[in-house]
Chains A and B, each alone.
Chain A
Amino acid sequence: MSKYTEDDLREELKTKEYEYGFYTDIESETFPIGLNEDIVRAISKKKEEPQWMTDWRLDAFKVWKEMTEPEWANVNYEKPDFQAIAYYSAPTAVDPNKTLDDVDPDLLAMYKKLGISVDEQKKMNNVAMDIVVDSVSVATTFKKTLGEKGIIFMSISEAIKEHPELVKKYLGTIVPTKDNFYAALNSAVFSDGSFCYIPKGVRCPMELSTYFRINQAGTGQFERTLLVADEGSYVSYLEGCTAPSRDENQLHAAVVELIALDDAEIKYSTVQNWYPGNSEGKGGVYNFVTKRGLCEKNAKISWTQVETGSAVTWKYPSCILKGDNSVGEFYSIAVTNNYQQADTGTKMIHLGKNTKSTIISKGISAGKSQNSYRGLVQINSRADNARNFSQCDSLLMGNECGAHTFPYIEAKNKTAKIEHEATTSKIGEDQIFYCNQRGIDTEKAIALIVNGFSKEVLNKLPMEFAVEAQKLLEISLEGSVG
């Protein structure tokens, strides 16, 4: 019987299973656990980095050693033991310049399981893809097509070697090493990630996409993404993430920096589906991420995120609206179930005149989870006629979960217009019965209602990923209950 009572629903949600929880047995090389200067040096050496990069990492490491983990987020977890993690793991014998055709067949089989048939993606979706397993970028597709337009899309390790002037110019300018504890850690030990540069006036003809996966046990993943859109250019970028189911907690501390120069536009979408832990709250990924973008004159940055995974999420994709008339957007769906905890939101820093920001946040909480929106809208004294609109909606399932909203507003200019709306609702038995009566079972009904609730944000995703994200919402909330 799949009829709906609060208890049934709760029961049902508990039995959800993580679909991506397989481990692929690919040969890999992993560094010993622990973190010290030698490890930082070894990572840099392994990646054959120039001296300036090694020094940059070592500086970051020094800064990190003096810092303590932030405590202000509305999350509770056992602090990771940073000396018990391996900071580098890579599938062996991977030549980063390989094309997908020569990639280890086991890896390709893994992508299939992830639901991304790379071939298909290549053909149908017009998506260029970079795949990062554990710490290393495995393959970047479409390099040639992009090259013709002068677009650089490669792993950050390659970029450090091939385009040091660009990396040097922008790395750490938006998220400085000492920005926060995890950003400092990332700066010291980041293993790979993506680099992207769109030249002046170029409209990137396809979606750029990176797929991250933690495969090895006991490793942390620290990717670094740097995306520069030169004047008048446009790019849409998507990242996806999964990890195997494991009993211990895995650490993921990424840094993403976006730079949109005058008149440029960046659309950055994330579908985050790290392993959330089991129904008792054991295991799962700690997702501590710093994402920030800078907008110059008339530039626009749009963050769209669908966050369904991770045991603990700490993440605030932000926009610094430096240039006049620049625009920042944040569209977010965060789903928490079982014992998951999410503290996520955004910061919109208005520095320029006539800057505009929009925040749409949809939080969906089930099980015993805690879901917090935390957002800062800051209007600087020189930011005449700045505008912000924020809307934070929460949908609750059952009585044991929590939804929280922490909006902070700092306006130092009288011409600012700031609007904030917030709603909280519950999936009602009447809604479920109505769907049931039309032949839609409870599981599907919840999916339908949740998708409806999230629609404004789903609509912002590139079309081919919206479908995937929609499926992900269903899986996260229902699992394989029949």
Chain B
Amino acid sequence: MLKINNLHASIEDKSILKGINLEVKAGEVHAIMGPNGSGKSTLASVIAGKEEYEVTDGNILFEGEDIEELAAEERAHKGVFLSFQYPIEIPGVSVTNFMKTAINETRKAKGLEDMPAKDMLKMIREKSELLEIDRKFLSRSLNEGFSGGEKKRNEIFQMAMLEPKLAILDETDSGLDIDALRIVANGVNKLKSKDNAVVVITHYQRLLDYIVPDFVHVLYNGRIVKSGGKELAHELEEKGYDWIKEEVNA
């Protein structure tokens, strides 16, 4: 589904990603861990097509197609979804209206008619129940005045509504209380299938107890320096990153 080859990316001439190789197949869950500032969010943004970042080398294939030239919305239309580490506020635009616009714009790109209001409502009802979101919440301005945890839960609600092929969850667990973490993780698990894939970026093993990864990668200084199975996350939780840094610098 996603194949990243020797990806180099920089911002304002500062090189941040320095040769990433990663392959994510349909049905898989990958976890990306790594110290602060190592480039995890940058990688997510580059995959999603944020234009401020310049790809200086390498490429990203999504379902076999090089997506370098595609705008962010075109990538979204193809099924790439990013749950933001810091979700953005849009005053005056309700969650519902935002989702309606997102879904219908995606449908339009595929040559489909707007989703009938009845179907939209049904879907909103189902997905908000899945994530235990109060319907009143959906009439509020997007992310405006939302608590940290509410923002994150709302990101996953959007993911549920958009049903992406590839979902990248950037520190979705941070800010969630213990119950919310379980609800959100269960939501993600329910949405998982053999046809889609999830990349979770996280600092904590806690989330991975719920969303169990097939692979764990350690990103350090713009490179994936170690990959392994789910045990690797436990090892990191226990030992921190120093031993990896030492391995790399040795």
A interface residue numbers (CB < 8 A to B): 1-5, 428-431, 433-442, 444, 448-449, 451-456
* CB pair A444 B101 closer than 8 Å: yes
Query: Known contacts A438-B102, A444-B101: does B93 contact A433 (CB below 8 Å)?
Result: no
* CB pair B90 A434 closer than 8 Å: yes
B interface residue numbers (CB < 8 A to A): 48-52, 69, 71-73, 76-77, 81-82, 84, 87-93, 97-98, 101-103, 105-106, 109, 141, 158, 162
Q: Which residues of chain A come closer than 8 Å to B52, judged between CB atoms?
A: 429
* CB pair A448 B87 closer than 8 Å: no
* CB pair B73 A440 closer than 8 Å: yes
Query: Known contacts A1-B71, A444-B101: does B82 contact A437 (CB below 8 Å)?
Result: yes
* CB pair A451 B105 closer than 8 Å: no
CA distance A4 to B71 in the complex (A): 10
Query: Known contacts A2-B71, A441-B105, A444-B101: does B92 contact A436 (CB below 8 Å)?
Result: no
* CB pair A454 B102 closer than 8 Å: no
CA distance A3 to B76 in the complex (A): 13
CA distance A449 to B92 in the complex (A): 8
* CB pair A439 B93 closer than 8 Å: no
* CB pair A2 B88 closer than 8 Å: no
Nearest 6 Cβ contacts at the A-B interface: A452-B92, A436-B72, A452-B93, A438-B102, A439-B76, A455-B92
Q: Which residues of chain A come closer than 8 Å to B72, judged between CB atoms?
A: 3, 433, 436-437
CA distance A437 to B41 in the complex (A): 14
CA distance A442 to B90 in the complex (A): 14
* CB pair B106 A439 closer than 8 Å: yes
Query: Known contacts A1-B71, A4-B51, A453-B91: does B105 contact A434 (CB below 8 Å)?
Result: no
* CB pair A431 B88 closer than 8 Å: yes
Q: Which residues of chain B come closer than 8 Å to A441, judged between CB atoms?
A: 71, 73, 105
* CB pair A434 B71 closer than 8 Å: no
Query: Known contacts A3-B72, A433-B72: does B92 contact A439 (CB below 8 Å)?
Result: no
CA distance A438 to B95 in the complex (A): 12
**A461 to chain B: closest CB distance in Å?**
15
B77, B87, B141: which contacts A439 (Cβ < 8 A)?
B77
* CB pair B51 A444 closer than 8 Å: no
A430, A433, A439: which contacts B162 (Cβ < 8 A)?
A439
* CB pair A437 B77 closer than 8 Å: no
B76, B89, B91, B103: which contacts A437 (Cβ < 8 A)?
B76
**A335 to chain B: closest CB distance in Å?**
15
* CB pair B88 A439 closer than 8 Å: no
CA distance A345 to B105 in the complex (A): 36
Query: Known contacts A433-B72, A437-B48: does B82 contact A451 (CB below 8 Å)?
Result: no
**A470 to chain B: closest CB distance in Å?**
11
* CB pair B92 A3 closer than 8 Å: no
Q: Which residues of chain A come closer than 8 Å to B90, judged between CB atoms?
A: 431, 434-435, 448-449, 452
Query: Known contacts A431-B90, A448-B90, A451-B93: does B102 contact A440 (CB below 8 Å)?
Result: yes
A sample of 12 more A-B contacts (CB under 8 A), given A436-B71, A455-B93, is A3-B49, A5-B51, A428-B88, A433-B50, A435-B102, A436-B76, A437-B72, A439-B77, A441-B71, A442-B73, A451-B92, A455-B92
A429, A436, A437, A448: which contacts B93 (Cβ < 8 A)?
A448
Interface centre among B71, B84, B103 (most CB of A within 10 A): B71
**B161 to chain A: closest CB distance in Å?**
9
Q: Which residues of chain B come closer than 8 Å to A433, judged between CB atoms?
A: 50-51, 72, 88
**B55 to chain A: closest CB distance in Å?**
14
Interface centre among B51, B73, B90, B141 (most CB of A within 10 A): B73
**B229 to chain A: closest CB distance in Å?**
30
User: Which residue of chain B has the shortest Cβ distance to A458 in the bound complex?
Assistant: B92
* CB pair B162 A438 closer than 8 Å: yes
User: Which residue of chain B has the shortest Cβ distance to A428 in the bound complex?
Assistant: B88
Query: Known contacts A430-B88, A454-B92: does B48 contact A439 (CB below 8 Å)?
Result: no
CA distance A308 to B158 in the complex (A): 33
CA distance A453 to B87 in the complex (A): 18
**B124 to chain A: closest CB distance in Å?**
15
**A401 to chain B: closest CB distance in Å?**
20
User: Which residue of chain A has the shortest Cβ distance to B70 in the bound complex?
Assistant: A1
* CB pair B101 A448 closer than 8 Å: yes
Q: Which residues of chain A come closer than 8 Å to B73, judged between CB atoms?
A: 2, 435-442
B81, B87, B92, B101: which contacts A440 (Cβ < 8 A)?
B101
Interface centre among B82, B88, B92, B102 (most CB of A within 10 A): B92
**A132 to chain B: closest CB distance in Å?**
34
Q: Which residues of chain B come closer than 8 Å to A438, judged between CB atoms?
A: 73, 76, 98, 102, 158, 162
